[in-house]
Amino acid sequence: MGGDQGHEVVLNGIARVLKKREDVFFIVHGPAKTLEKLIRRKKRLSEFVEVRDADDVVTMDAKPSMVMRNGKGTSMWSAIDSVREKEASVVVSCGNTGALMALSMLRLRKLPGVNRPAIACLWPSRNEGGFNVMLDVGADIRADETDLIQFAKMGASYARNGLGIASPRIGLLNVGTEDHKGRPELKTAHDLFPAVAETSQFDYVGFVEGGDLPSDKVDVIVTDGFTGNVALKTAEGTAGLIREFLSQAFKATPLSRIAAFLAITSLRRLGKRIDPRRVNGGVFLGLNGTVVKSHGSADATGVAAALKLAIRLTESGFNERLAARVASGLEPGHYADQPEAINEQMQ
Amino acid sequence: MGGDQGHEVVLNGIARVLKKREDVFFIVHGPAKTLEKLIRRKKRLSEFVEVRDADDVVTMDAKPSMVMRNGKGTSMWSAIDSVREKEASVVVSCGNTGALMALSMLRLRKLPGVNRPAIACLWPSRNEGGFNVMLDVGADIRADETDLIQFAKMGASYARNGLGIASPRIGLLNVGTEDHKGRPELKTAHDLFPAVAETSQFDYVGFVEGGDLPSDKVDVIVTDGFTGNVALKTAEGTAGLIREFLSQAFKATPLSRIAAFLAITSLRRLGKRIDPRRVNGGVFLGLNGTVVKSHGSADATGVAAALKLAIRLTESGFNERLAARVASGLEPGHYADQPEAINEQMQ
């Protein structure tokens, strides 16, 4: 169904991916008649795209608990089920994040050993590869010390398979780097981390602060979903404000307008580096199947970025490796929740 | 004593303020001999600056609880006591934030009716005045619904007196704008806010997200000190990263170097708008006296900005008005803590 922008943006994103690859196939879920009409209009799309009819829509403001009860006829449910039935390797959606997580937990179930799934995002950074990983950016609003340690394991797995970093450096987000700072669960996790890092083959670099999110001292930043979500949206908002100020600065005088023209290539490169569309794609970690959440407001470039990320993760066998990694640290009492429990969690 | 940069930066900041004003006097606290030597070197400083000898230093990594027990001979203690003794109208410090808050609570005491003091900062925004207010950015790591409501009252008072906004619009930071989103204390505060807004003469605009921090839909953003601190440092880090990318973009090609030269005035104006030094100065709200915290890494421009903010707040009679405002909403059970309680709180 697409996000705020509707079906067409999704099909345009697919078309962009197909320009470079011919070994990827798509199943699109939504109203068959409308979709088929749009697909016929686009060259080559019909060859690589199959339509699955689903008339209902999960709206952007739908409550996750309602969608779990009544969402069976929606395109979102249908898309997730295509991964559940192993027809598809990965699902990509621009829809309602809370509903997507709730339905993914309900239909795909959590990996054995995972208490809370998390959403991981890529963060522009000073590291060689250009990105850090941060999680959780909004799957849940809480995380205790056990969750934070699982986030670290899952984030390390993502950094290994998604970014190709053999031994990722993990930092725990806090309000200061001193040992005595922060909430109780952070201090407990901080004490437990060195031992976990050794068995899970990552480096624990200790507490990091908000200013370290784009740092080259760390590859993966672990935090609860409330803090992570605020940090992510704050960074996007700050980048947006600066982009606005920058464009105003270049329109301020005739001289600065000439300057903007001369610097256009360099400014475009800058634009790409800080363009949130290019880092589009939150990955749901901790489920039996990979789910990639694209921004609701994503345009074709954004959708294509999310699709490419989904393809990269699938090709690396990411989810199987993640499952093995988490299972190796399986602790008693941490099994997949029943729908009732999920339901309560997603309110 | 200054922050990371030592005494000289503080004196340079004072000198900058004195260039424009002759009706402000300073008491500087630190090692008398060293300070007097530096002051003699600077034109006009000795006329407006008095030295108070204090040899001990609160180091940047000192634990607040230790400073409360053993900090009596420090420059920080001495500076706060000059407000306590009504020799000074306001104290400005570049030192250890946790220690400054702990000593301020111990020596100045909380205003009657205030449970948790908060640190408010200015946030570059799309609003006409150029700034929004956010609090708490790190006085404490927690805040319950009562605290959040007090933060709103104090933030509204700050916006009125510091920014001249008659009826400030208050938003509550959350992971979404829908009523069902977020932590329990946020939902409770959200339900209580409309009634409080009416009696306290501010507008409650509801939940806001990280992306709304620079928005022109809101003047004051209320959050707990953990989230606020992470958001503040994330925004600073993002702005820093973009500044770096921008300067790289302008050095990329000969053409872009010419462009940078042509656009230099506009770029300088942009630099000013996003320069964290110009918004330097966290204000401690909820104490019997005004305390302004400057960045530890502030240079003379940063120190001068913090001093100007301190002067502006003092001249507006800010703290007296704030006290009256908070007292008007006095609830039983919310009186100033004893030192032991403060001590525990600042761990």
Q: Which of A227, A309, A304, A275 is nearest to A20 (CA)?
A: A304
Q: Which residue of B227, B256, B266 is in closest CB contact with A256? A: B266
Using alpha carbons, select from A13, A43, A34, A7 the residue that is nearest to residue A299: A13
% of chain B with per-residue pLDDT over 90: 56
User: DSSP state, B26?
Assistant: E
Average pLDDT score over chain A: 86
Q: Which three-class secondary structure state does DSSP give residue A287?
A: strand
Q: Where are the domains of chain A?
A: 7-345
Q: What 8-state DSSP symbol labels residue B338? A: P
B335 has pLDDT over 70: no
CATH code, B7-345: 3.40.718.10
* Range scoring the smallest mean pLDDT among A150-154, B95-99, B341-345: B341-345
Backbone angles phi, psi at A104, to 5 degrees: -65, -40
Owner of token pair 């620079």 = B214
What is the structure's pLDDT at B342? 39
pLDDT band at A77; cut points 50, 70, 90? very high
Please say whether the dihedral angle defined by the alpha carbons of residues A78, A81, A86 and A89, taken in this order, is positive or negative: positive
Q: Would you tell me how many other CB atoms lie within 10 Å of the CB of residue A347?
A: 11
Torsion angle defined by CA atoms of residues A138, A97, B177 and B220, in that order, rounded to the nearest 10 degrees: 40
Rounded distance between C-alpha atoms, residue B61 and residue B126, angstroms:
36
More confident residue, A227 or B123: A227
Residue B222 has pLDDT above 90, yes or no: yes
Least confident of A87-101, A173-187, B259-273: B259-273
Q: How many residues does chain A have?
A: 347
**Measured between alpha carbons, how far is A288 from A107 in angstroms, rounded to an integer?**
9
User: Which positions ≥6 away from A335 have C-beta within 8 Å?
Assistant: A112, A113
Residues of B whose CB is below 8 A from A176: 98
For B60-72, the pLDDT digits (tens) are 888 899 999 999 9
Residue A289 and residue A84 in contact, taking contact as beta carbons nearer than 8 Å? yes
Question: Is residue A177 classed as helix, strand or coil in its secondary structure?
Answer: coil
Residue B276 binned pLDDT confidence (cut-offs 50, 70, 90): low
CA distance A53 to A66: 21
User: Average pLDDT, whole number, for chain B?
Assistant: 86
Nearest to B269 among A225, A249, A265 (CB): A249
Rounded to two decimals, the pTM is 0.86
Contact A121, A306 (CB under 8 A): no
pLDDT number for residue B347: 38
What is residue A216's predicted lDDT score, i.e. its pLDDT?
96
Q: Which of A119, A183, A241, A297 should one mutate to test binding to chain B, selecting the residue with the greatest count of B CBs within 10 A? A: A241
CA A50, CA A53: separation in Å to the nearest integer? 10
Does any CB of chain B come closer than 8 Å to the CB of residue A238?
A: yes
Question: What H or E segment, with its residue span, contains residue B83?
Answer: helix B75-84
pLDDT tens digits for range B20-55? 998 999 999 999 999 999 999 887 899 999 999 999
Tokens of B120: 């408010």
A 50-69: CB under 8 A from B: 61, 63
Contact yes or no for B311/B317 (Cβ under 8 A): no
Which positions 302-341 of B are in contact with A (Cβ < 8 Å)? Answer: none
Chain Cα centroid distance, residue B191: 28
